[in-house]
Structure 1
Amino acid sequence: MTTPTAALSAAGVSIWLDDLSRTRITSGNLADLIASRNVVGVTTNPTIFANAITNPDDTSYDGQVAQLAESGATPEEAIFEATTQDVRDALDVFRPVWEETGHVDGRVSIEVSPDLAHDTEGTIAQAKELWAKVDRPNLLVKIPATKAGLPAITAAIAAGISVNVTLIFSLERYAEVIDAYLAGLEQAQAAGIDLSTIQSVASFFVSRVDTETDKRLTAIGTDEALALKSKAGLANARLAYELYEQTFAGDRAAALLAAGANRQRPLWASTGVKDPALPDTLYVTELVAADVVNTMPEKTLEATYDHGVVTGDTVTGTYDESRAVFAGLAAVGVDFADVTQVLEDEGVAKFIDSWHELLGQVREGLEAQR
């Protein structure tokens, strides 16, 4: 009997888990999710690592922290060593998936320091450092889609580094991200790099769009406004897929694809439902299309496996309906450009907060060992 996650995979969606910890790797849980839940990749971020490393019930990091304390490592150095080890080990677990999918999936992402979100040169330097340290071909280095991040994306791709572009909220910024990717490919091609070795995904956030938009619709309070609740996130993502289709069918992309380059796949992030009144698989089953990634928290993954209803493509053919949602939002007074800017600013700030919380916890751990 076909499971919902198998059906999702058959429909062209790559299922990635939005979580990683050392225990998940060493216990065999990650391998089990690959076998039983059709998981073909993993994404991480500072919050995920903060939760893993500072979990009082997880002792798997204690030995390494003690060694790092003895060597005099700083908190930044300790986090770098611990997280790159986890990602390297996870990449080795996914190596067979990477081979079986023609080097498309079997990917694990690791993020540059959130403190570098507005530092182009610092981001480029750390992307190269992470790529060299992990030293696995199926790695993705995560770079945020801030204004400062865009030239860093181009530089990393140009150097042959595969990139997961994160924190994309608006179609306008997504267009800039695709442009940054194509520019990087053009530079890589000029440098004689094999374009087929470079992969990239563009992480378009979904549920957070509804959270912020619905808050504004509730404040407006009219029947017209309330009727638009929980529609912006899906509409935004669906129009992002339309942009993906159009751009990669264009002449500029076609020339690169003919030279062996890969499309930069859209990735649906923030797919856990925040509003308990909504179906818990909403941002999975309503965003099914060929060649996309859906990165899910484990709770959403298990809900999808248990009762997700996969009916095939739920994206193409929805573009006019999606545009009507945005026309409606504008008509009731929602400034969507402001929504997406607020979300980008908050997203960067949340990751910086998690990063500094992690630094503080690791600092305490190192000092306790000295």
Structure 2
Amino acid sequence: MNDTKTTRTAALAAEGVSIWLDDLSRERIRSGGLQKLMAERGVVGITTNPTIFAAAVSKGSAYDEQIAELADGTATPEEAVFALTTADVAAACDILRPVHDATGGYDGWVSIEVGAGSAHDTAATVAEAKHLAATIDRPNAFVKIPATLEGLDAITETIAAGISVNVTLIFSLERYRGVIDAYLTGLERAAASGIDLAGIRSVASFFVSRVDTEVDRRLDAIGSEEARALRSKAGVANARLAYQVYEEAFASDRARSLADRGANRQRPLWASTGVKDPGLPDTFYVVELVAAGVVNTMPEKTLDAVFDHAELRGDTVSGAADAARAHLDALEALGVSYDDVTATLEDEGVAKFAASGEELLATVAAALEAETVRPS
């Protein structure tokens, strides 16, 4: 099964799913580990977040030299975080550039998030997105912007400036429709400014397993046999309905008009696909969400599980919308409010986003402090 043409990950890619890795570190870049995953596991993209970077900085010695330089220059923790993360993303972009070029920009992307403090500040988000894009200066760098209400306007402005965006923290179908509208509006503004739409890309990161975690918590509180029978199905149902929204939105006259001018579809990306319930198969959020044109970004543990033993059944999304809607209706009938679940998850997601940013700042601040007190 080591032949990349016969592996399970190759079979997944053949179904139209782009396999991205939800992890990045300087050690992975320098050791050739990323290139190995590309060659052997079919990885064609990378997503990152502050927690991933904090874990990377706290392990090993790969960052020691740059941290020493930053400490000598009396960089603030915020400046150091920016320097460390943009350097890693730029390096990963260079490694994935051949994929980007070979696929005409379809894959080969590396994502980096705006700062946690900007989630509810449109102007700050746009300013940071522009700063990140200019600093990394690679055609295959995505700036991640959370899909808060304030984030929608930031998405439009960033896309209108010709910057490619990974929209993150999407939980509800209503918000997803708003994200698509923000993207299309940004494209329309970019076109009006004379920007080549073909160079702008976007993915919409729809979170999956977190939906099940919250819904199952509520079902367990109900405790009935009927409630137990509905466990661990909401995340997949929600994502399958999101795919229906995607197909309908990009078949609209508005989207077609933009496509005629060179615009690309904003692809759905399944995020939070690591299994949190030990009772579920470890490949669950991969094999149940196979459809053409989507991205699945996986932690390495999930990627390894898919490679090793995923039982793929072809497209498991198309034609499943009616059953997915029926499942959400059944939850509502039991008193599990979809709107409350998704609002709760967005609030928690933004809070976790902020906490991750603080964790990274603290990790880098400690590293800088350790360097300044190191004996010469």
**TM-score, L = length of structure 1:** 0.99
Is 1:296 matched up with 2:295? no
SS at match of 1:313: coil
Residue 172 (structure 1) shift = 0.4
Which residue is 1:145 aligned to? Answer: 147
CA distance in 1, matches of 2:334, 2:371: 58
Question: 1:173-184 residue pairs with structure 2 within 5 A?
Answer: 173-184=175-186
Which amino acid in structure 1 is aligned with residue 54 of structure 2?
Answer: A
Q: 1:224 aligns with which of 210, 222, 226?
A: 226
Corresponding residue to 1:3 among 7, 17, 26: 7
Q: Which residue of 2 aligns with 1:49?
A: 53
1:366 match: 368
Structure 2 CA distance, aligned partners of 1:98 and 1:265? 15
What does residue 67 of structure 2 align with?
65
**Structure 1 runs, 4 residues or longer, greater than 4 Å off:** none
Matches within 5 A, 1:277-296: 277-296=279-298
Measure the CA separation in 1 of the matches of 2:363 and 2:41: 33
Which residue of structure 2 aligns with residue 312 of structure 1? 314
Per-residue deviation at 1:363?
A: 1.4
Q: Report the secondary structure of 2:149's partner residue.
A: coil
Kept in 2: contact 1:202–1:264 (CA 8 A): yes
| CA distance, structure 1, for counterparts of residue 270 and residue 166 of structure 2 | 12
Q: 3-state DSSP class of the match of 2:179?
A: helix
Q: Which residue of 2 aligns with 1:22?
A: 26
Q: Could you tell me how far 1:223 is from its partner in structure 2? A: 1.5
Whole-angstrom distance in 2 between the partners of 1:345 and 1:54: 28
For 2:218 and 2:242, how far apart are their aligned partners in 1? Answer: 22
For residue 163 of structure 2, the aligned residue among 139, 161, 164 is: 161
Residue 115 of structure 1: CA displacement?
Answer: 1.0
Q: In structure 2, what is the Cα distance between the partners aligned to 1:241 and 1:82?
A: 35
- State whether structure 2 residue 22 is matched by structure 1 residue 12: no
- Of residues 310, 324, 327, the one that matches 1:325 is 327
Asked whether the equivalents of residues 145 and 168 of structure 1 are also in contact (C-alpha less than 8 Å), the reply is yes
Q: Is the 8 A contact 1:54 1:358 kept in 2?
A: no
In the alignment, the residues of structure 1 paired with residue 138 and residue 359 of structure 2 have an alpha-carbon distance, to the nearest angstrom, of: 28
CA displacement at 1:359 relative to structure 2: 1.1
* Residue aligning to 1:339: 341
* Displacement of 1:357: 1.7
1:260 alignment partner AA: G
Whole-Å separation in 1 of the counterparts to 2:332 and 2:363:
44
User: Of 236, 242, 245, which residue of structure 2 is paired with 1:243?
Assistant: 245
Cα distance in 1, alignment partners of residues 368 and 29 from structure 2 = 23
Q: Give CA-to-partner distance per residue, 1:214-264, whole Å, 9 cap, x none.
A: 000010111211111011000000000000000000000000011000000
CA distance in 2, matches of 1:70, 1:308: 49
Q: Check the 8 A contact 2:291/2:318 in 1, yes or no.
A: yes
Instruction: Report the CA distance between 1:301 and its aligned residue.
Output: 0.1
Instruction: Provide the residue aligned with 2:268 in structure 1.
Output: 266
State the Cα deviation string for residues 85-117 of structure 1 (Å, max 9, x = none). 000000000011001111110000000001111
Structure 1, unpaired ranges of 5+: none
* Residue 359 (structure 2) aligned to one of 357, 365, 368: 357
Are the equivalent residues in 1 in contact too, given 2:50–2:359 (CA < 8 A)? no
Pairwise CA RMSD: 0.7
SS at match of 2:75: coil
CA positional deviation for 1:278: 0.3
In structure 2, distance between residues paired with 1:310 and 1:261: 32
Cα deviation, 1:342-369, whole Å, max 9, x if unaligned, reads: 1111111112112112212211221222
Taking the aligned partners of 1:365 and 1:302, their CA distance within structure 2 comes to 32
Q: Letter of the 1:222 partner, please give it.
A: S
- Displacement of 1:162 in angstroms is 0.2
C-alpha deviations, 1:298-342, integer Å up to 9, x for none?
000000000011221100111110011011001111011111111
Shift, 1:50, TM fit: 1.0
